[in-house]
Amino acid sequence: MLTRLKIHLPPWMHDWLDIIVPGLQILLILAAALLLQRLILRIVMRASDHYQFPHELLTPVRGMVRWLIIGSAGLLVLERLGVSAAVLWTAFTGFATVGAVAFFAAWSVLSNLFCAFLIFTVGPFRVGDHIELLDTAEKPGALGRVMDINLLYITLEDATSPEPGTLLQIPNALIFQRVVRRWRAGTPVPESRLHPAAPEPAAAPAPKAANFP
């Protein structure tokens, strides 16, 4: 197509054409990538609002979509600039290898993020409920009221500590590795399982009267 266009143009424009056409193609690639990113993110946000999905859990999804589009657009731009397909493939496989290593290195964090997604969607408990994590059905574990659920851990107000207000932070992944006993918000927890009252300080013994001979 470029050769046909050169036939109808004067010779002095041929060199400029070799610069203008790739430049326009690069601009079109960048514009299409920007529009595609905005369109996908808008669809994701509308789906989140429709299904009442927490927006904070969409942060990894938005980041993944953004970087996938940026990476694809970057490869297309490099191809328009004359970089060979073999070089692009080598660079892609290198980045993929580094990404795989980083994925396994951050596995614990990613597992907590995924478990947070399951907690919000499946809803095994809610903020305000009392839960108890058990190693087995007979062995008691952490017991408390759910104060907060975020992307990495769950915050409980410890119900077994003699000091009221003690907080426990439990990784999200641990929830799916233990038996969970739940009391819904408003349901009283048995008194035998709650923390005992803090002991009152013992009264100081009265001083003994001195005996003089």
pLDDT tens figures, 143-158: 888 998 888 889 998 8
Provide the phi-psi class of 108: left if phi over 0, else alpha when psi is between -120 and 50, else beta: alpha
The per-residue pLDDT for 92 is 75
Q: What are the residues facing 168 on neighbouring strands?
A: 156
Contacts of 153 (CB under 8 A, 6+ apart): 112, 169, 170, 171, 172
DSSP per-residue codes, 6-21: HHTS-GGGHHHHHHHH
The per-residue pLDDT for 190 is 77
Exposed (0-12), middle (13-18) or buried (19+): which is 7, by Cβ within 10 Å?
A: exposed
As a whole number of angstroms, the distance between CA 110 and CA 113 comes to 5
Q: How many Cα neighbours within 13 Å face the side chain of 158?
A: 15
The rounded mean pLDDT for the chain is 77
What is the reported pTM? 0.45
The per-residue pLDDT for 76 is 84
- Give the distance, in angstroms, between the CA of residue 34 and the centroid of all CA atoms in the same chain: 24
Residue 139 has pLDDT above 80, yes or no: no
Under 8 Å between Cβ of 170 and 133:
yes
